[in-house]
Amino acid sequence: MSDETPSPRPSERRRRPNVAGGRVARHVVKASPEEEGVLLRLALAQGVTIPRLLVESALAQDAGETASERRAMITKLYELHRLLAAISNNVNQIAKATNATRELHPETFATLTAVRKTAMQIDELTDELSLT
């Protein structure tokens, strides 16, 4: 067994990917202790380093979002997809029971409400992603 730590998946990468020729420009930014605390909190929340947070935030002025925020939205979209799959399983079970008994079960309306709510969340997130 190797002592090496496994490399993070691409979506979990804290540092920015390398670019051909490297990055030659360097900027020094001074921050107060309070500002440093805010930067650290934001960087930890997005799972990135403070330099990456600063670069993405500055470059996102035109795009309206950072790459980390976009990745978080995509993750949320996948979560909603899994939720919709689970709900559709419930719909299939309800349909099977309804067909067998010819009676509408009380869970039907709650499940269909969950389907509509999830579909609306997916639509909203898709709209957010398409605006960038």
Count other Cβ atoms within 10 Å, centred on residue 68.
Answer: 21
Question: Residue 98 pLDDT > 50, yes or no?
Answer: yes
| pLDDT computed for residue 37 by the predictor | 94
pLDDT tens figures, 35-92: 999 999 988 988 888 888 888 877 776 656 666 777 777 788 888 888 888 888 888 9
Closest CA to 122 of 91, 92, 79, 88: 79
pLDDT tens figures, 4-51: 444 444 455 666 678 788 777 888 889 999 999 999 998 898 888 888
State mean pLDDT over 102-118. 85
Q: Which residue has the tokens 């008994």?
A: 101
Question: Which residues, at least 6 apart from 105, have a Cβ–Cβ distance to it below 8 Å?
Answer: 94, 97, 98
